Structure 1
Amino acid sequence: MEFVSILNDVLGPVMRGPSSSHTAGSWHIARLVRDLLGGEPAAAELIFDPDGSYAATYRQQGVDLAFAAGLLGWELTDGRFARALALAPAEGLDIRFRVAPLAGADHPNTVHGKLVARDGRRLAFTAKSVGGGMVVVTGLDGRPVHLDGKSAVAVRTGGAARTARPLFFVRKGEPLFLSASEMVRLAAKRRVSLGRQALAYESALLGLTEAEVMAEIGRRFDIMKDAVRRGLSGRGLAMKLLEPSAGKVLRAEAKRRLAAGGLPTRLTTATGPDERPRWSPDGQRILFISSR
């Protein structure tokens, strides 16, 4: 059975919309090939097959922004993301997009790219975004490869050694359980809560201390809260497909103008700016929010 990581597969990976495949996946591809290039990108050409979905949606779903931000070395959560294309020239990156037939494009989210670094190094690649932010680089300089970002990479193409960091947390241990029933039995045996058992699981699986796992959960919780605050305010948002509406929904619910509302609607505003994940006084539960 395939193992599941809480940080990689449940509370992650951290992604940016509007599309996990087109936006987050494209950024993951860009992050990988930037590393593989081995130098600061100066020029990039991204080619999409006319029969694929990239060709029809790369502007509307932020594919262009994601490739630009990733090639610039920016984090997916960087506040400059929406201006990545506009800022790229000043950052020394000439990035262009083209629609043309791609031989062997067996997936709608296939991209072929050509990169040139400032020091003259070059890289040609083929990759595809396969869903949920997951990606596969299938070709480097004409050589078939299979790089999914789940581990560190070292390959040699055209006489050049190329390396890339993992996109996700790397598995370093064995899972403590492989099913919900096993988890319940183990938690009962250890006389701990399911939350504590999940923490022990992730710590063992990824080779992190429990404190490190909690710190990463806290970072992601901050990202979630910031997304909620920005979504409710509606200010400074450059959404590609829809206008921000969460704030309108919440205000309408407060005036009892929704067909359904109540606690699920209000929970999104129940956190303070200084909240952090923490254990309850009895040590059995992780507290994230305080309802009111």
Structure 2
Amino acid sequence: MKELPGIFNNVIGPVRRGPSSSHTAASWRIAQTSLDLLGEPLGKALVEFDRDGQWATNYREQGTTLGIEGGLLGLGISDERIKDTEQYAQEKGISITYEVSSFPTNHANTVRLTLWGTSQKKIQVVAVSLGGGAFEIRSIDQFDAILNGEWHEIICFAKSNNLEKLKALQSDEIKLRFQEKEDGTWYQFKSSLPFSSAIIAQLKSNLELDTVAVVKPVMPMIAGRQTEMPFSTIESLTTYAEETGLNLGQLGLLYEKCVSGLEDEELVQNMEGLLQIINDGIDIGLKGTYYADRILQQQYHLIEAAEVKGKIIDSIVNRIIANVSALMEAKSGMEVIVAIPTAGSCGAVGGSVRAVADNLNSSHEDVISAYFAAGLIGAYYAQGPGFSAEEHGCQVETGAAAGMAAAAIAQLMGGNAKNSLDAASMAIQNTIGLICDPVADRVEVPCLGKNINAGINGFTTATMSVAGFDAVIPLDQVIQSVSEVSKTMPSCVKCTGEGGLALTETAKQIKKRLAEKNSNQKVKL
């Protein structure tokens, strides 16, 4: 059975601080997993970015260092101390060095970590960020590997072949894969359940095994519990919806139930927790935020002020603008937010859905169901291009968010599954080819405007769909077009800071000013 992306693992989440999910959240997960692989307290670390990759140009500005350092230092991704990991590392006496170098890669967001433990044990890990906080560790000490943080795992290495002995530990629950090389054999056990202390003790007491590392999952949902789903493609989803009369939110809940193996009640509770954090983020933003190292301070309040003065027309659009701005300002202020589907596009869905729900006096249950509708659109997006702007531009960040918002809002308006799917199709059609060109490598300009556009795009296309407008192109073909268009886009407009608005004279001046400001602050410290 093909493993499918989950709504909670790949679309709505992670809960985190930091400007970028692909930079901050994924790097944190990579670092946490690498620390488990080391298996002892960290002494020092060398972090290398591929010279030809997308991270080489902006790993500091977009928070990659915060994520890596937070993970290596054992800090939670939403921990307040992640705002100043450099100071915390100094306090713990841990050296973390960064270099831009050349090494074999096959992905735009590749990082190589070399870790030394306090006993001088050494491990080297090569990993990639896939967008939206998803990641894969693809090499451990030059052995091919695939670790994505969704399993309980034990990694072993032996100079001699212990395969027959280790095979005895396999079961329906515990899977084993291995790889042989001249200098030894690498073993990987994986399970959807925690390994018993007896199995761990048995492996660690095996004198023929040189290394035994217990790796904990870092994703919210554990893999390996997926059950058969009554639909697979968007076409079969549409047919199933027509046969059953289920709306897209109900289908999204069913999808996540099949992917996770969990019951409805637990999944709804999980979504309720995420919704609370999203709404808290809006409320924090609406109270006003300040963070020194950013381009834009708060602006959401300008909407209400202009309304009071009669300068702008009072409408739901104003509420969308204010809510989206509040979430984006909370994000850039290093507050705790939910990446939905990414941190760079975190404002669109939450801001627009809240505005519409408030306007319609939607029930709590209706809003939760609308988020499952949004999540299902994101799950199909994750099966296609995914959410990496470094691979596909902003069409997979605010473009995907617009489609998710459209589906959710159409459902809140009383639309059926087809209305939600058509709304998502039209919203994404409006964003195909959207580039990613962050000014000064900060996820603020033009990201704020693109999030606001995505929220309003979601609202207008939901309105069109429920009113009966024809989407013309089915959603699955629209998502496929996103993947095809990205192949024609140059890398300079894929989150490198080397194209578009990022090359304007004003953008260069802003980047210089922020760099000088940060340099002066470090000197004063």
> Which TM-score band applies after superposition, normalised by the shorter structure?
0.7 to 0.9
> What is aligned with 1:166?
217
- Please state whether the residue corresponding to 1:82 is helix, strand or coil: helix
CA contact (8 A) 2:300 2:322 kept: no
Instruction: Decide whether aligned partners of structure 1 residues 284 and 157 sit closer, same or farther in structure 2, where only a CA change above 3 A counts.
Output: closer
CA contact (8 A) 1:143 1:157 kept: no
1:125 CA displacement: 1.4
Alignment partners' CA distance in 2, 1:264 and 1:55:
35
1:18 lines up with 2:44 in the alignment = no
Instruction: Decide whether aligned partners of structure 1 residues 253 and 69 sit closer, same or farther in structure 2, where only a CA change above 3 A counts.
Output: farther
> What is aligned with 1:125?
125
1:206 CA displacement: 0.5
User: Which residue, 240, 246, 262 being the options, matches 2:318?
Assistant: 262
Q: How is 1:83-102 mapped onto 2 (pairs within 5 angstroms)? A: 83-99=84-100, 101-102=101-102
Letter in 1 for 2:45: A
> What is aligned with 1:219?
273
> What is aligned with 1:279?
365
1:196 lines up with 2:250 in the alignment = yes
Name the TM-score, length of structure 1 as normaliser.
0.78
* 1:24-75 alpha-carbon deviations (Å, 9 max, x no partner): 2211211221221223323222122333333321211111111111112222
- Please state whether the residue corresponding to 1:80 is helix, strand or coil: helix
> What is aligned with 1:80?
81
> What is aligned with 2:146?
146
Instruction: Decide whether aligned partners of structure 1 residues 257 and 53 sit closer, same or farther in structure 2, where only a CA change above 3 A counts.
Output: farther
Instruction: Decide whether aligned partners of structure 1 residues 284 and 86 sit closer, same or farther in structure 2, where only a CA change above 3 A counts.
Output: closer
> Where in structure 2 are there 5+ consecutive unaligned residues?
159-209, 324-350, 373-407, 413-525
Letter in 2 for 1:132: G
> What is aligned with 1:244?
297
Instruction: Decide whether aligned partners of structure 1 residues 186 and 243 sit closer, same or farther in structure 2, where only a CA change above 3 A counts.
Output: same
Alignment partners' CA distance in 1, 2:150 and 2:299:
34
1:144 CA displacement: 2.5
Alignment partners' CA distance in 2, 1:149 and 1:286:
24
Alignment partners' CA distance in 1, 2:292 and 2:216:
30
Instruction: Decide whether aligned partners of structure 1 residues 198 and 87 sit closer, same or farther in structure 2, where only a CA change above 3 A counts.
Output: same
CA contact (8 A) 2:33 2:149 kept: yes
- Please state whether the residue corresponding to 1:149 is helix, strand or coil: coil
Alignment partners' CA distance in 2, 1:154 and 1:43:
23
> What is aligned with 2:232?
178
CA RMSD of aligned residues (A): 3.6
> What is aligned with 2:493?
none
1:122 CA displacement: 2.7
> What is aligned with 1:34?
35
Alignment partners' CA distance in 2, 1:19 and 1:284:
27
Alignment partners' CA distance in 2, 1:136 and 1:285:
30
Letter in 2 for 1:233: K
Instruction: Decide whether aligned partners of structure 1 residues 230 and 284 sit closer, same or farther in structure 2, where only a CA change above 3 A counts.
Output: closer
1:235 CA displacement: 2.6
Instruction: Decide whether aligned partners of structure 1 residues 41 and 194 sit closer, same or farther in structure 2, where only a CA change above 3 A counts.
Output: same
Letter in 2 for 1:97: Y
Alignment partners' CA distance in 1, 2:80 and 2:104:
36
Letter in 1 for 2:85: A
* 1:152-196 alpha-carbon deviations (Å, 9 max, x no partner): 332223621223223332241223422455446556766655433
CA contact (8 A) 1:58 1:64 kept: yes
Count matched residues.
282
1:88 CA displacement: 1.8
Instruction: Decide whether aligned partners of structure 1 residues 194 and 67 sit closer, same or farther in structure 2, where only a CA change above 3 A counts.
Output: same
Letter in 2 for 1:247: Y
1:92 CA displacement: 4.5
Alignment partners' CA distance in 2, 1:228 and 1:83:
24
Alignment partners' CA distance in 1, 2:282 and 2:118:
39
1:3 lines up with 2:4 in the alignment = yes
1:230 CA displacement: 3.1
Which structure has more strand as a fraction of its residues? 1
Alignment partners' CA distance in 2, 1:284 and 1:72:
38
> What is aligned with 2:170?
none
> Which is greater in Rg?
2
CA contact (8 A) 1:69 1:75 kept: yes
1:79 CA displacement: 2.0
CA contact (8 A) 1:231 1:246 kept: no
Instruction: Decide whether aligned partners of structure 1 residues 181 and 236 sit closer, same or farther in structure 2, where only a CA change above 3 A counts.
Output: same
Alignment partners' CA distance in 2, 1:216 and 1:143:
36
1:258 CA displacement: 5.6
Letter in 2 for 1:38: G
Alignment partners' CA distance in 2, 1:149 and 1:181:
31
Letter in 1 for 2:275: F
CA contact (8 A) 2:48 2:99 kept: yes
Instruction: Decide whether aligned partners of structure 1 residues 180 and 15 sit closer, same or farther in structure 2, where only a CA change above 3 A counts.
Output: farther
Instruction: Decide whether aligned partners of structure 1 residues 179 and 246 sit closer, same or farther in structure 2, where only a CA change above 3 A counts.
Output: farther
Which structure has more helix as a fraction of its residues? 2
> What is aligned with 2:116?
116
Alignment partners' CA distance in 2, 1:263 and 1:214:
26
- Please state whether the residue corresponding to 1:279 is helix, strand or coil: helix
> What is aligned with 1:56?
57
CA contact (8 A) 2:25 2:133 kept: yes
- Please state whether the residue corresponding to 2:276 is helix, strand or coil: helix
